[in-house]
A and B are shown apart, each in its own frame.
Chain A
């Protein structure tokens, strides 16, 4: 059950080693914490948490092919990747992250695991569903008429683009290809 290959990138003839993607959310009391949400800071914080929870061995296991694949500072979404064999170590260590530190500032926060998926794609799909749910919840709970209007607008915007996405997005795509 050891890692399939020692190198970070296996040779192209072999299929890639199985991986897991962990989608989580950074929750913090302090809005300035958002500044700290970046690749390096998040990675360091998670690694530190793993080291605390599982020691050197656990850290080494998890660090094979561990990266931050995506993050969004405005929504606090973070997508982490690690080997499938050791994602349990990662998941168990995530609640132990207590703070993010970057540029000599540190802010307390915690990680909320949303989803564990086998591909980035499933995580993205989950994220869409999740965000949509959040928006709907927001819409239901809102008390003010103007607020309701603006939220409805944003909900409509994202759902609308989904309808139009086929044409609009692909034109975008074509542009990038001609570059």
Chain B
């Protein structure tokens, strides 16, 4: 039976006396145990001894003694006549003539021992019940479980023991204070502050922590996914209504300085090839938000730093400009360092720093409370620590006040300051997000006089309202904001539109019940104006917001009316439940609305997932959050944002940036976690990836992939002019080859500077590989040269060309149209060659949608179908895909050998341990041994040629794949080798272009998928 049951049974039986039998020696009893009977005075000890013997039955040390001891007795008890010799040599040799004496005493001793054993068994309760449960019902009393004295006296002792045990089992109360004390506001705030010292909490942390699975990432506590079932509901919200996300963890770097200086240096870290520049006209005016990829200065296309979005503060006459660069926290340190380097901002600016980052809203109030209550409460406390007011941390709780957060350049006067957690950012995704916004936010009322001369509340707004120009600007902004009610989807507004606004306190017009914000068709007015908005975007001035002004933000943060006061005022309303009118006391909050473009690339679902971002000054997080919730939005966490980008088919930071440091870090962490998970399963219950032909199920070896493809190309001699000899240094040759075709060179000209570098590095890599003669492990290559070994192709022109080439010609006119629209060349060797030459080791972001069945998974392999596969597919429309033949596990034998060796060694070590008893050293040794161990089912390091390991040639890997609710079929996103892709496209028949095979790591089945490059 099962072990648990055995154990339970053993526990139940532990008080029962075991059977007592004679020792297992056959034959007649020995004549005369020399030390037979114990002295008669020692009967009690003998009884105990016998009990012990009962416990350890048949154990060698006791047997001989016991045998000696008992044989005389047995003999005497049973038959008088026979074995007299039994006790002849006994210690009481004097009693030989009176056999009855001995008989009686041993007889009595055996009986006494048995009585003892039985008494013990009877006295112990055998069941698992408590003492009072064993009492008959009429003897039970209500308080028995609490008070021992309610029990009969004879049970007191047992009950006391039981009660002690129960106390031990209870969880140790770690907190010294009672719950009431712990939940008291001051203590609660202190506790929260303590807990957010290590990881930054967002302002909505408590709200999220009650509803979400929280994870600690990038120094923040972030909501991962809701605890409720909401996978589909979140998707529905994204497509039909509105999904809200707290993106306050995104970091904002503020650059302050002269426009020309800024642009000059910033141009070094990005490239016009990839799309926008910081100096793009429509962004520079401050009307639109731009997004681009940053590279290390002058290193394009290598050394990617990560994607960012940026907003310029609209021009206000002076030469100094303000620029916000928003980025993912994983990228922040790299980008900040790079920015500091290019602007030579080394000096920490000291004027800015002393400003307390933990702003105290309720400080004064609370000290008052402390003083008034202190007399009563604090005196009883051990020490009067009332002098320390407890402040709620707003903003970054982990900041070290001594560390600089802003740097200035002595030469140019450019200031870089780290504004993360100073500005909150919420993202509303979905077609009705503008309805939510318009319902929640109400433009601030004009105010010409201060509510209270003492406070600073709204003094900036009053000042502002005195200026008629600014008043008109505010009215213009308000008018445009109200126009938003009339649009049907945020996607209609130009991408990245920025709208500045000053709004009233959103808590004032909180609806009584949670309702879904819906667009009101009656407000469909001013059609012309709406159309003008669509076409031209927001007028220049309207992008202005007071949120750019730090002093105003600080003022707004500090003068927030607390929730408590607001509720108090609500309670004093004459008509309960009527609208609260704060009049001049109502706070005015500057916000910034930024339109987020949805799906821009590709042909299906244009504008899907568009929405608005709202930036708020810190401290106002919950004040805006709850009103949004009351408009029926659904809240998502990190998982939802991942899905959002997946359905948009855009790369997600940092998962899909394998060439930036954060992406490499992410991939490593992912590999470790997957490997841990894999190792936790027993070997027989996990996939044997060696047999499945999956070389690296937990990590995508991009470096190895691109290297292998380069070698393949060289070996095949394809795309290389016959006159061109195979040599190592193809860099110079590549250039010379390009020379006779001037137009081609022109096309590749932006990269020519880099071509050399990549070539150099690649040739270095080639040299290295030659040194190690193919045995070089990808792990090594991964660690030492990943950053230089491959690049991700982000040049828009090239991507566009590739995208056109990927289209099958079945819809011939469409492709023609596309080709003509994009001004593309036909795919010929002339067109391919320069690309191959300039990007020998590049990977391309692609998306794949499965033709039929199949659900792609993480790290699925993208392979090139053979001609037979196509033949099969054209014959049989239901053909799912070919199967990979099973590989054989070449490591199994080795692992078994190792195991045997290890076992032997362990045995030896155990012997050593027994001798030396020195556990720490041995455990260390074991760990190192384990590290070297091969893992059953995984390829151990040096990987063979990844491309040709399986029956179908490997092209790339999937980084994200799932069933897409948006497309209704399995969809995957991933990277393929550029060389491999061109090779494949070049050879595929025109109507089958872009067809690839997908295989998940734990399966042998290939599935057909269509490869697309969306630009």
A and B assemble together = yes
Residues of A within 8 A of B (CB): 9, 28-35, 37-39, 68, 70-75, 77, 103, 105, 120-121, 124-125, 127-128, 131-132, 134-135, 138, 142-144, 146-147, 149-151, 153-155, 157-158, 160-162, 165-167, 169-170, 172-173, 176
Contacts known (A31-B77, A35-B22); A173 close to B16, Cβ less than 8 A: no
- Note all chain B residues with C-beta closer than 8 A to A77: 114
> Is B157 engaged at the interface, CB distance under 8 Å to the other chain?
yes
> Is B948 engaged at the interface, CB distance under 8 Å to the other chain?
no
B115 and A71 contact, CB distance less than 8 A: no
Contacts known (A135-B112, A157-B43); A170 close to B157, Cβ less than 8 A: yes
- Of B44, B82, B86, the residue contacting A161 (CB under 8 A) is B44
User: A169–B79 Cα gap in the complex (Å)?
Assistant: 35
Q: Which residue of B lies closest to A71 (CB)?
A: B19
- Note all chain A residues with C-beta closer than 8 A to B76: 31
B20 and A124 contact, CB distance less than 8 A: no
Contacts known (A68-B19, A124-B122, A151-B108); A160 close to B44, Cβ less than 8 A: yes
Contacts known (A37-B21, A125-B122, A146-B95); A32 close to B43, Cβ less than 8 A: no
B105 and A150 contact, CB distance less than 8 A: yes
User: A135–B43 Cα gap in the complex (Å)?
Assistant: 14
Which 7 A-B pairs rank lowest in CB-CB distance, beginning with the nearest?
A31-B75, A150-B105, A31-B78, A154-B108, A154-B112, A147-B101, A158-B115
> Is B118 engaged at the interface, CB distance under 8 Å to the other chain?
yes
Chain A nearest CB: distance from B880 CB in Å? 46
Q: List 20 A-B contacts (CB under 8 A).
A: A9-B1, A32-B28, A32-B83, A33-B78, A34-B22, A37-B21, A38-B22, A73-B74, A74-B22, A124-B118, A132-B115, A138-B108, A147-B100, A147-B105, A153-B40, A157-B44, A160-B44, A166-B123, A166-B157, A169-B124
Chain B nearest CB: distance from A51 CB in Å? 24
- Note all chain A residues with C-beta closer than 8 A to B229: none
Contacts known (A37-B21, A70-B17); A131 close to B122, Cβ less than 8 A: no
> Is B521 engaged at the interface, CB distance under 8 Å to the other chain?
no
B110 and A74 contact, CB distance less than 8 A: yes
Residues of B within 8 A of A (CB): 1, 14-22, 26, 28-29, 40-41, 43-44, 47, 70-71, 73-79, 82-83, 86, 95, 98, 100-101, 104-105, 107-116, 118-124, 126, 157-158, 161
A31 and B79 contact, CB distance less than 8 A: yes
Q: Which residue of A lies closest to B115 (CB)?
A: A158
- Note all chain A residues with C-beta closer than 8 A to B113: 74, 158
- Note all chain A residues with C-beta closer than 8 A to B70: 74
- With most chain A CB atoms within 10 A of its CB, the pick from B29, B41, B113 is B113
- Note all chain A residues with C-beta closer than 8 A to B78: 28-31, 33-34
Q: Which residue of B lies closest to A9 (CB)?
A: B1
User: A155–B47 Cα gap in the complex (Å)?
Assistant: 11
B119 and A150 contact, CB distance less than 8 A: no
Q: Which residue of A lies closest to B125 (CB)?
A: A121
Interface of A is mostly: helix
Q: How many A-B residue pairs have CB under 8 A?
A: 164
Chain B nearest CB: distance from A2 CB in Å? 25
User: A19–B47 Cα gap in the complex (Å)?
Assistant: 32
- Note all chain B residues with C-beta closer than 8 A to A124: 118, 121-122
B111 and A75 contact, CB distance less than 8 A: yes
Chain B nearest CB: distance from A78 CB in Å? 9
Chain B nearest CB: distance from A138 CB in Å? 6
Q: Which residue of B lies closest to A77 (CB)?
A: B114
User: A28–B75 Cα gap in the complex (Å)?
Assistant: 10
User: A52–B137 Cα gap in the complex (Å)?
Assistant: 46
- Of A37, A158, A166, the residue contacting B47 (CB under 8 A) is A158
B22 and A37 contact, CB distance less than 8 A: yes
Chain A nearest CB: distance from B672 CB in Å? 39
Q: Which residue of B lies closest to A32 (CB)?
A: B28
- Note all chain A residues with C-beta closer than 8 A to B43: 150, 153-154, 157
- Note all chain A residues with C-beta closer than 8 A to B109: 154
- Note all chain A residues with C-beta closer than 8 A to B1: 9
User: A161–B20 Cα gap in the complex (Å)?
Assistant: 20
Q: Which residue of A lies closest to B70 (CB)?
A: A74
Q: Which residue of A lies closest to B111 (CB)?
A: A131
User: A53–B114 Cα gap in the complex (Å)?
Assistant: 32
- Of A31, A35, A73, A135, the residue contacting B83 (CB under 8 A) is A31
B104 and A142 contact, CB distance less than 8 A: yes
- Note all chain B residues with C-beta closer than 8 A to A29: 78-79
Contacts known (A138-B107, A147-B100, A150-B40); A70 close to B19, Cβ less than 8 A: yes
- With most chain B CB atoms within 10 A of its CB, the pick from A9, A132, A154 is A154
User: A39–B124 Cα gap in the complex (Å)?
Assistant: 25
Q: Which residue of A lies closest to B98 (CB)?
A: A144
Q: Contacts A151-B105, A165-B123 given; 16 further ones with Cβ under 8 A? A: A31-B75, A34-B74, A35-B26, A75-B114, A132-B115, A138-B108, A150-B101, A151-B108, A157-B47, A158-B112, A161-B47, A161-B119, A166-B157, A170-B157, A170-B161, A172-B120
A127 and B44 contact, CB distance less than 8 A: no
User: A149–B78 Cα gap in the complex (Å)?
Assistant: 22
- Note all chain B residues with C-beta closer than 8 A to A131: 111-112, 114-115, 118
- Note all chain B residues with C-beta closer than 8 A to A149: 40
- Note all chain B residues with C-beta closer than 8 A to A169: 120, 123-124
Q: Which residue of B lies closest to A34 (CB)?
A: B74
User: A112–B111 Cα gap in the complex (Å)?
Assistant: 17
User: A36–B26 Cα gap in the complex (Å)?
Assistant: 10
B120 and A72 contact, CB distance less than 8 A: no
B120 and A105 contact, CB distance less than 8 A: no
A39 and B19 contact, CB distance less than 8 A: yes
User: A154–B102 Cα gap in the complex (Å)?
Assistant: 13
Q: Which residue of A lies closest to B95 (CB)?
A: A146
Q: Which residue of B lies closest to A72 (CB)?
A: B20
User: A129–B763 Cα gap in the complex (Å)?
Assistant: 98
- Note all chain A residues with C-beta closer than 8 A to B82: 30-31
Chain B nearest CB: distance from A151 CB in Å? 5
Q: Which residue of B lies closest to A159 (CB)?
A: B115
B20 and A144 contact, CB distance less than 8 A: no
Chain B nearest CB: distance from A118 CB in Å? 14
- Note all chain A residues with C-beta closer than 8 A to B112: 131, 135, 154-155, 157-158
User: A151–B22 Cα gap in the complex (Å)?
Assistant: 23
Chain B nearest CB: distance from A179 CB in Å? 10
- Note all chain A residues with C-beta closer than 8 A to B98: 144, 147
User: A67–B15 Cα gap in the complex (Å)?
Assistant: 19
- Note all chain B residues with C-beta closer than 8 A to A39: 19, 21
Chain A nearest CB: distance from B27 CB in Å? 9
A176 and B14 contact, CB distance less than 8 A: yes
User: A16–B181 Cα gap in the complex (Å)?
Assistant: 51
Chain B nearest CB: distance from A38 CB in Å? 5
A120 and B16 contact, CB distance less than 8 A: yes
Q: Which residue of B lies closest to A103 (CB)?
A: B26
User: A144–B109 Cα gap in the complex (Å)?
Assistant: 17
- Note all chain A residues with C-beta closer than 8 A to B95: 146
Chain A nearest CB: distance from B32 CB in Å? 15
A127 and B79 contact, CB distance less than 8 A: no
- Note all chain A residues with C-beta closer than 8 A to B75: 31
- Note all chain A residues with C-beta closer than 8 A to B100: 142-144, 147
User: A103–B124 Cα gap in the complex (Å)?
Assistant: 36
- Note all chain A residues with C-beta closer than 8 A to B120: 165, 169, 172
- Note all chain A residues with C-beta closer than 8 A to B157: 166-167, 170
Chain A nearest CB: distance from B76 CB in Å? 8
- Note all chain B residues with C-beta closer than 8 A to A157: 43-44, 47, 112, 116
- Note all chain A residues with C-beta closer than 8 A to B29: 31-32
A71 and B105 contact, CB distance less than 8 A: no
Chain A nearest CB: distance from B71 CB in Å? 8
B16 and A154 contact, CB distance less than 8 A: no
Q: Which residue of B lies closest to A39 (CB)?
A: B19
User: A153–B28 Cα gap in the complex (Å)?
Assistant: 30
A135 and B111 contact, CB distance less than 8 A: yes
User: A144–B94 Cα gap in the complex (Å)?
Assistant: 14
Q: Which residue of A lies closest to B42 (CB)?
A: A153
- Note all chain A residues with C-beta closer than 8 A to B101: 144, 146-147, 150
- Note all chain B residues with C-beta closer than 8 A to A121: 121-122, 126
